[in-house]
């Protein structure tokens, strides 16, 4: 590419409302242009980097055996109603009506659509496992879009979904994805860490986040340099044990008093020891104004009380269990964190506080009387209870929960997330297959996301100096910049620059020839600002001595290299 034919639009100053380095530099370098809050145009220069990130993600996904498809960005509301997320998702979900007044959403994620495809197409265990992925623009109406493309409202995501005949096979694919993600972030040239995401537990976990390490990250990560322990502090904190710990079999009941929206209350309550909670029941009621109230019942014990059904709670007919959707919406936590939440049917009913208290009594009583409730097994209905580290107020130097060293604390940017969904969506959308005995079974499911556009910002957060961006070579918009001193004045320089340009192109190197009629200083500044890793300057004096000047983007000083060997030098 020649600068004269390209579209460089660098700025001296970043807009004053830009908050973090990557956002400032991306705007100054002209990689992106803002269209609205959290919504950006990728300019030709930025798009080159975005596409390189995408290509690496795609190559490694294909290599893992996953198959690419492309789902619609616009999704019918019916699917979201079927999964329960139409109610649950809240204002991050952008909803609209078409001209026939039918409801649609712009996809923030695609579990519903993919599950709908698979339930129609896959009927037999012989067609499993299958892993389908796409690279596509998502829309989430983030409450605080910020940091440029790192928390956009429209952003590019790679999202993959795998379907399995057994939990074991899901776990196998999960490991494949863990390894694939590690390869992707290594190839991208980023410093990253895989972090236990759901519980911060020391044992196995059904979810990992991949974080690019940078001070501007929004998440705190506790890690042990001497082992592979790493956990997202924020998430682990929500689960951290605290006193008082209820005794085995003891139930705790907390009633949201009428008039309270319950969120703050319940959030505090959730900090109760959840490590051995085998059952969490959220009960929903409405006050006179139709505002929902929650009571949360946590049951701790060494046997499970999972199969408490409304019918078994004799006489307590005036309540219902909260749906996962409501738990997430109103309690501000994912239902997974408090275990599967009861049976759900019907509409919201009014309950009195005493009803909840009675329910707590019932559960306590049932336990004390040794009334064992059956039909539950760990692993299927509940995550195995693993030890959860208490990471509240943790500081660097504290002992690591795995006992293998001391903790360090760093900040991270979530660039990837892998998740064992189990049967959550498959059950809701009735996605079943016939096993080898001809029995109908619900599919096991995993999902795997990568924030493709966020990666560009995150890479810059990790690689910049006072002159601008320093792109890792794998994702730089151009790998080499040729900067001729006097392209428009000297035929020798022009010929030498054009000849080198062709040689590099023939060698398969992404090269930008800066043939603009600009002052050398401003050409250097631009090439540095946009983060090109290698620069070759062609000047009269060097040329006369058969040399060109080479400078790596991180080098302090330039060195002279023989013109004949420069291509080999750059390869
Ligand atoms: P966050 O905690 O940052 O809000 P998330 O957990 O909501 O992210 P996921 O649902 O796990 O995001 O989506 C998969 C990936 O998509 C994330 O790991 C992240 O890299 C990317 N992503 C999520 N939200 C945004 C956003 N608003 N802008 C850019 N990338 C995003
Ligand atoms: Mg989010
Ligand atoms: Mg997250
Ligand atoms: Mg996530």
CA–CA gap between residue 186 and residue 323 (Å, rounded): 40
**Is the CB of residue 301 below 6 angstroms from any atom belonging to ligand 1?**
no
Q: What is the ipTM of this complex?
A: 0.99
Residue 152 in contact with ligand 1 by CB distance below 6 A: yes
Within 13 A of 333's CA, how many CA atoms are on the CB side? 29
User: Which residue has the least CA distance to atom 16 on ligand 1?
Assistant: 451
Query: What pLDDT was estimated at residue 371?
Result: 28
Check pocket membership of 217 for ligand 1, CB cut-off 6 A: no
Under the banding of pLDDT at 50, 70 and 90, the label for residue 398 is confident
**Tokens found for residue 559:** 């060195």
**Is 107 touching ligand 1 by the criterion CB < 6 Å?**
no
Q: Does the bond joining 244 to the residue before it have cis omega, within 30 degrees of 0?
A: yes
Whether residue 527 contacts residue 533, with contact meaning beta carbons closer than 8 Å, is answered with: no
Does the CB atom of residue 151 touch ligand 1 within 6 A? yes
**Distance between CA atoms of 217 and 461, rounded to whole angstroms?**
9
Residue 209 has a pLDDT of: 94
Which pLDDT belongs to residue 197? 79
3-state SS assignment for residue 142: coil
Q: Is 449 in the pocket of ligand 1 (CB under 6 A)?
A: yes
Q: Ligand 1: which residue has its CA nearest to atom 21?
A: 451
- Out of 18-27, 78-87, 203-212, 506-515, pick the least confident: 203-212
Cβ atoms of residues 126 and 414 within 8 Å: no
Q: CA-CA distance, 184 to 514, in Å (whole number)?
A: 31
| Residue 248 CA, ligand 2 centroid: distance in Å | 35
CA-wise closest residue to 148 among 458, 399, 425: 458
- For residue 108, the ligand closest to its alpha carbon is 1
**Spatial contact of 412 and 219, defined as CB atoms under 8 Å apart:** yes
The pLDDT value recorded for residue 276 is 36
For residues 275-282, average pLDDT: 42
Please write the tens of the pLDDT for every residue from 126-135: 999 999 999 9
- Distance from Cα 335 to the centre of ligand 4, integer Å: 15
Which residue is listed with tokens 């006072």? 466
211 lines ligand 1 (CB under 6 A): no
58 lines ligand 1 (CB under 6 A): no
Query: Per-residue pLDDT tens for 335-345?
Result: 433 332 232 22
Inter-residue contact 551 to 557 (CB < 8 Å): yes
- Distance from C-alpha of 537 to C-alpha of 543, rounded to nearest angstrom: 10
Residue 451 CB less than 6 A away from ligand 1? yes
Q: Is 258 within 8 Å of 290 (Cβ atoms)?
A: no
Q: How confident is the model at residue 449 (pLDDT cuts 50, 70, 90)?
A: very high
Q: What are phi and psi of 303, to 5 degrees?
A: -125, 165
What spacing in Å lies between the alpha carbon of 414 and ligand 3's midpoint? 6
Q: Where are the beta strands (DSSP E) in 437-498?
A: 440-442, 444-451, 464-465, 468-469, 480-484
- Distance from the CA of 482 to the center of ligand 4, in angstroms? 41
| 160 pocket-lining for ligand 1 (C-beta < 6 Å) | no
Pocket test for ligand 1, best of 90, 233, 333, 449 (most atoms within 8 A of CB): 449
pLDDT (tens digit per residue) in 50-104:
999 999 999 999 999 999 999 999 999 999 999 999 988 888 999 999 999 999 9
CA distances (Å), origin 206, targets 200, 209, 235, 307, 383: 10, 11, 14, 23, 9
- Whether residue 414 has its Cβ less than 6 Å from ligand 1: yes
Write out the two tokens for 172.
Answer: 């196998």
* Best residue among 157, 190, 455 to mutate for probing ligand 1, ranked by most atoms within 8 Å of CB: 157
- Rg for the chain (alpha carbons), in Å? 28
Task: Name the residue of 454, 457, 458, 461 to mutate for ligand 1: max ligand atoms within 8 A of Cβ.
Answer: 454
CA of 417 to the centre of ligand 4 (A): 5
Closest CA to 445 of 175, 162, 239: 162
Give the ligand 1 atom nearest the CA of 415: 20
- Is the Cβ atom of 142 under 6 angstroms away from ligand 1? yes
Question: What is the distance, to the nearest Å, from the Cα of residue 16 to the centroid of all Cα atoms in its chain?
Answer: 28
* Contact present, 251 and 293 (Cβ < 8 Å): no
Q: Is the pLDDT of residue 284 over 80?
A: no
Confirm or reject: Cβ of 447 under 6 Å from ligand 1. Answer: no
What residues are paired with 534 via a beta bridge? 480, 552
Give me ligand 3 centre to Cα 258, in Å. 32
Distance between CA 163 and CA 424 in Å, rounded? 12
Mutate-to-test residue for ligand 1 from 414, 425, 446, 456, highest number of ligand atoms within 8 A of CB: 414
Minimum-distance ligand 1 atom for the alpha carbon of 210? 18
Least confident of 262-266, 279-283, 361-365, 392-396: 262-266
Q: What are phi and psi of 460, to 5 degrees?
A: -75, -40
Q: From 133, 188, 451, 458, give the residue whose CB has the most ligand 1 atoms within 8 Å, as the site to mutate.
A: 451
- The pLDDT of residue 206 is 82
Query: What's the whole-model pTM score?
Result: 0.77
Give the per-residue pLDDT at 229: 86
- For residue 395, the model assigns a pLDDT of 81
Going from the Cα of 26 to the center of ligand 2, the distance in angstroms, rounded, reads 22
């Amino acid at each position: 590419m020649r600068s004269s034919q390209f579209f460089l639009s660098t700025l001296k100053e970043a807009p004053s409302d830009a908050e973090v380095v990557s956002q400032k530099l991306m705007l100054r370098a002209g990689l992106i242009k803002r269209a609205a809050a959290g919504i950006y145009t990728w300019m030709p220069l930025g798009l080159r980097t975005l596409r390189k990130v995408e290509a690496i993600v795609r190559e490694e996904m294909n290599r893992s055996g996953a198959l690419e498809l492309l789902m619609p960005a616009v999704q019918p509301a019916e699917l979201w109603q079927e999964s329960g997320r139409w109610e649950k998702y809240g204002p991050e979900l952008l909803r609209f009506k078409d001209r026939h007044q039918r409801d649609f959403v712009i996809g923030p994620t695609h579990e519903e659509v993919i599950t709908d495809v698979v339930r129609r197409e896959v009927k037999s265990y012989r067609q499993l496992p299958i892993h389908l992925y796409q690279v596509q623009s998502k829309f989430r109406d983030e409450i605080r879009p910020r940091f440029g493309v790192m928390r956009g409202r429209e952003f590019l995501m790679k999202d993959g979904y795998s379907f399995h005949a057994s939990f074991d096979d899901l776990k196998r694919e999960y490991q494949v994805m863990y390894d694939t993600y590690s390869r992707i972030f290594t190839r991208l040239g980023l410093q990253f860490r895989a972090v236990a995401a759901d519980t911060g537990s020391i044992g196995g976990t059904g979810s990992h986040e991949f974080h690019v390490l940078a001070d501007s990250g929004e998440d705190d990560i506790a890690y042990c340099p001497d082992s592979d322990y790493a956990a997202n502090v924020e998430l682990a904190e929500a689960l951290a044990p605290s006193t008082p710990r209820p005794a085995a079999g003891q139930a705790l009941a907390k009633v949201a008093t009428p008039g309270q929206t319950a969120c703050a209350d319940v959030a505090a309550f959730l900090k109760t020891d959840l490590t051995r909670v085998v059952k969490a029941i959220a009960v929903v009621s409405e006050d006179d104004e139709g505002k929902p109230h929650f009571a949360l019942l946590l049951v701790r014990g060494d046997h499970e009380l999972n199969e408490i059904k409304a019918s078994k709670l004799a006489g307590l007919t005036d309540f219902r269990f909260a749906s996962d959707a409501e738990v997430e919406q109103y309690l501000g936590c994912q239902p997974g964190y408090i275990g599967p939440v009861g049976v759900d049917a019907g509409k919201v009913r009014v309950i009195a506080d005493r009803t909840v208290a009675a329910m707590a009594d019932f559960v306590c009583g049932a336990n004390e009387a040794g009334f064992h409730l059956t039909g539950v097994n760990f692993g299927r209905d509940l995550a195995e209870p693993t030890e959860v580290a208490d990471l509240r107020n943790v500081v660097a130097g504290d002992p690591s929960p795995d006992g293998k060293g001391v903790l360090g604390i760093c900040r991270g940017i979530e660039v990837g997330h892998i998740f064992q969904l189990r049967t959550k969506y498959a059950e809701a959308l009735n996605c079943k297959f016939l096993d080898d005995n001809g029995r109908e079974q619900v599919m096991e499911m995993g999902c795997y996301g990568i924030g493709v556009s966020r990666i560009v910002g995150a890479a810059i957060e990790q690689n910049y100096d006072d002159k601008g961006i320093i792109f890792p070579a794998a994702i730089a918009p151009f790998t080499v910049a040729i900067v001729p001193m006097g392209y428009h004045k000297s035929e020798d320089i022009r010929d030498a620059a054009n000849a080198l340009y062709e040689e590099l192109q023939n060698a398969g190197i992404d090269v930008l020839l800066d043939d603009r009629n600009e002052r050398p200083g401003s050409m250097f500044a631009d090439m540095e600002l946009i983060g090109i890793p290698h620069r070759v300057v062609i000047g009269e004096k060097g040329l006369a001595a058969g040399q060109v000047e080479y400078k790596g983007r991180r080098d302090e000083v330039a060195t002279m290299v023989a013109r004949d060997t420069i291509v080999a030098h750059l390869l």
